[in-house]
Amino acid sequence: MSMQLDFSAKRVLVTGSTMGIGRAAAEGFHELGATVAINGRSAKSVAKTIAEMGGGERLIAAPGDLSKVAEIHKVVPAAIAALGGLDILVNNAGRGDEALIDDIDEAHWQSMLALNLKGAFFTIQACLPALKESKGNIVNVASMLGVMGGPAGNIVYSTTKGAMVNMTREMALGLARDGVRVNNLCPGWTDTPMIQNENMLSGDDALYKYIDAECPMGRIGEVRETTGAILYLSSANAGYTTGSTLVADGGLSSGH
């Protein structure tokens, strides 16, 4: 049995794939032979991402705001039609706006819930007919803050990601007999452009120094490591794995 990862002829939708973890995952699938639908809120950013990835028939534009159910019902069917079906959904679109408990208003709560949880659920629902047909699989990108507490300001974000972890377990049970696998990836601190920008604003590499001190492995995670976890969960090598939570955080949550 070959353990090599090969996604030739696989059709993949990665939400939130114009930057960071989602972009790296889309690149990983594409490099391994898949046809990939690229999603982001801006059609311009989607087109730019596709151009930077080299263009061609195996890259599909699927712009749209997945915090809105009506838009999900347009974007997802169009992407699946362009792909010719769907084998893998990576639910990565999300936001991480910070606010302290006393400062949270309804608008903040609703905006975070709309994309991180409601959007993820209804994206899966819209993909299910195609995934049931292909006996495909879903990877929900949650967060280490879905399995542990974190710094002040993350209560709403952490709540949405904890809910995603349990939603994944329930979906795995409900879809197992349909041949659809559903798993979580919970990344820790990852060296994405967003984190790089936050570190620059912190001055004197303060954020990187904090991460290095807090993480048992003494360093921030690399995007390729998160991509590797997503590719594994999406592959035949994980064919007997469903309802699981893979935590890629350098051991940070183990101490909490």
Catalytic residue numbers, as ranges: 157
CA distances from 254 to 142, 215, 220, 249 (A): 17, 10, 16, 9
- In this structure, what are the phi and psi dihedrals at residue 106, rounded to the nearest 5 degrees? -65, -35
- The separation between CA 150 and the C-alpha centre of its own chain, rounded to angstroms, equals 19
Contact by Cβ (8 Å): 126, 72: yes
Nearest to 208 by CA among 199, 200, 197: 199
**List of residues 6+ apart from 236 with CB closer than 8 A:** none
